[in-house]
A and B are shown apart, each in its own frame.
Chain A
Amino acid sequence: MSKRSIIPILYILFLMLPIYWLVAMSFKTTNEILSGFSLFPQTFTLENYKVIFTDPSWYWGYINSIIYVSLNTVISITVALPAAYAFSRYSFLGDKTLFFWLLTNRMAPAAVFALPFFQLYSSVGLFDTHLAVALAHCLFNIPLAVWILEGFMGGVPKELDETAYVDGYSFPRFFVTIFLPTIKAGVGVAAFFCFMFSWVELLLAKTLTAVAAKPIAATMTKTASSAGYELGLLAAAGTLTIIPGAIVIYFVRNYIAKGFALGRV
């Protein structure tokens, strides 16, 4: 091993430490966690995972989260695609201002919107539905998706559109069969960020749900039960929340570099 690789390796170990600790904890009993310091599980147990996969109040948390996150990603990308196309291809009254205004939605903390959303959704009967959370998350995911996609679309010359029209493509056909495949990296990156932000967002998701659409992060906040602190269970739940993000990252890992190159991520 060369000297050069020592520092990156140390850095990665340092980064991975909390994750390792979480994973290690998830295989320990709560007693062992509370009793003191141990690098490896002394009594290896899968009991924590068994609880999560058998107790509906736990595994429904995951299902709920995945439903509203997927829903949000689909809505955000579907809405952002035409918007980003308009911003990148046409100049219209107030286009620059509107583009900036869209981004300002991201600047306000989610807490600001929690109360209005709660009141609005309660009154229209959306409260405690997956759609409620998915729509609320659109508030900051659509601007983000528009911004990322606009960057990628801007990199495609307008001449491509013109060539397609000359060749006889109608606009919808051109958009779906030529334009989308050309910017698929951008769609991947935008979808990834929508997924991530929606997945980790807790405040709105928690405020807008009670039982039927309760997200996993909200389930995890019940740290105490009749049996006292269930730290092992929590660690197992935490470990499982990392997995979807890791899977998505795996698929878009090559595209994210492109996004960075465009300065849009």
Chain B
Amino acid sequence: MTIELKAASKVTRGITHIKPTSLVLETGHFNVLLGQTGSGKTSLIKLMAGLDQLASGQIFMDGVDVSKLSTQKRNISLVHQFFVNYPQMSVFDNIASPLRVAGMAKSEISDRVAEAAKILQLEPMLKRRPQELSGGQQQRCALARAIAKESRAVFLDEPLANLDYKLREELREQLPELFAGRGAVVVYATSEPEEALLLGGKTALMDDGVVTQFGPTAEIYRNPANLTAAAVFSDPPINVVEVMSEKGSIWGGGNLTWDADARSASEGQYQFAIRPHYVTPNRQSDADVPVTGRIAVTELSGSETSAHFEVEGRSWVSLAHGVHPYKVGEDHTFYMNPANGLYFRKDAA
């Protein structure tokens, strides 16, 4: 099973929501759409689901053009960010409803519902109404409906965003095994880079209505194509400083300087970006370079301390394990290994 977009775009009332996008999504792994709110993840899913009309381009499922095919006939499932279930039906009827519409035999319906309910631990509440369940259970009910249908493609539009932290972690762990071996193309939209990394598979980075980069998640994390991609795939935001490469050394203003490497050997202006957890309060190796800045805010979250400070007029963040006594308003020297950073040519970006 594959879904292929060929220069698919969406325009509503003169506003372009999705610029022509080409993408091939396959089965066997999660296809994560990663992007900030408003980057077009939901629009893209709606296009693939046939809920919105294409302005141009085509969509193929298993090589067959489905661009003109109605949503009902595409044989897909969709789980929304909000817990959407049929309020007048019991949980059993909710899970069974797509099967009933398809005209499946009663015995098979009850088998499939039982199986889905078992996997998602909904067995004790099959007779209840969705609104009598907790948020997590409601979303599990929606997921059970998607699983029981055994459709060709499952679209999960930020399914965990409205759940509290504990439930989110629990359900996220279950998700990959839930869909493993079902043969459906799983598309998972999220705004959290961490989720993309945890789910693995492939990631399509979305920004301003276009897929900027698509490939195996880990690879995209390591080698973002441009600064926007790097910024999308970093939480807290990636640290950026403009640097100049000259005669084998890098200069970023003030005392900030280090040796150029293979990636930055050719002379010129670069944007240097480094993820917050590579900026540490202590020297880790001889290759480390000191970065000094005035501490603006510090936050202690569980076992990690984050410090916001200013480097060359830009706001930087350091994320380090353990508790570190930073003093707000004072200068502090952090260390980073430029080898962990990313270079983007200024003129190219």
Contacts and interface: CB of A to CB of B under 8 A. Distances in A.
Interface of A: 157, 159-160, 162-170, 173, 178, 181-182
Contacts of B301: none
Interface in B82-107: 82, 84, 86-88, 97-98, 101-102
Nearest to A156: B87
B287 interface: no
Given A164-B86, A173-B101, 15 more contacts: A159-B82, A162-B46, A162-B49, A162-B80, A163-B78, A163-B86, A163-B142, A166-B49, A166-B71, A166-B72, A167-B149, A168-B75, A169-B72, A178-B86, A181-B88
B87 to A, nearest CB: 6
B87 A159 contact: no
A178 B94 CA distance: 11
Given A162-B51, A178-B86, A167 B80 contact: no
A162 B77 CA distance: 10
B80 A165 contact: no
Given A167-B145, A168-B72, A182-B88, A162 B78 contact: yes
A80 to B, nearest CB: 21
Interface residues of B, number: 23
A170 B82 contact: no
Contacts of A169: 72, 97, 101
B314 to A, nearest CB: 40
A10 B40 CA distance: 61
Nearest to B49: A166
Given A178-B88, A181-B88, A182-B87, A166 B82 contact: no
A128 to B, nearest CB: 43
A160 to B, nearest CB: 6
B120 interface: no
Contacts of A167: 77, 97-98, 101, 145, 149
Given A160-B84, A178-B86, A182-B88, A170 B72 contact: yes
B320 interface: no
B76 interface: yes
Contact of A163 (B70, B75, B80): B80
Contacts of A181: 88
Would you call the interface of chain B mostly helix, strand, loop, or mixed?
mixed
8 contacts: A157-B84, A164-B86, A167-B77, A167-B149, A168-B72, A170-B72, A173-B101, A181-B88
Contacts of A164: 86
A170 B102 CA distance: 11
A93 to B, nearest CB: 11
B210 to A, nearest CB: 23
User: 6 closest Cβ contacts across the A-B interface?
Assistant: A167-B98, A181-B88, A168-B101, A165-B71, A166-B78, A159-B84
Contacts of B88: 178, 181-182
Contact of B77 (A166, A170, A178, A182): A166
A82 B87 CA distance: 21
Nearest to B98: A167
A168 B102 contact: yes
Contacts of B72: 165-166, 168-170
Nearest to A162: B51
A96 B48 CA distance: 31
Nearest to B80: A159
A242 B284 CA distance: 87
A167 B98 CA distance: 5
B47 to A, nearest CB: 13
Nearest to B149: A167
A157 B84 CA distance: 8
Contacts of B76: 166
A164 B49 CA distance: 12
A162 B78 CA distance: 9
Contacts of A178: 86, 88
A160 B86 contact: yes
Contacts of B80: 159, 162-163
A177 B102 CA distance: 15
Contacts of B102: 168
Contacts of B149: 167
A168 B99 CA distance: 9
A167 B79 CA distance: 11
Nearest to A167: B98
A164 B46 CA distance: 14
A166 to B, nearest CB: 4
A160 B51 CA distance: 12
B184 to A, nearest CB: 13
B91 to A, nearest CB: 15
Interface string B29-63: 00000000000000000100101000000000000
Nearest to B77: A166
Contacts of A173: 101
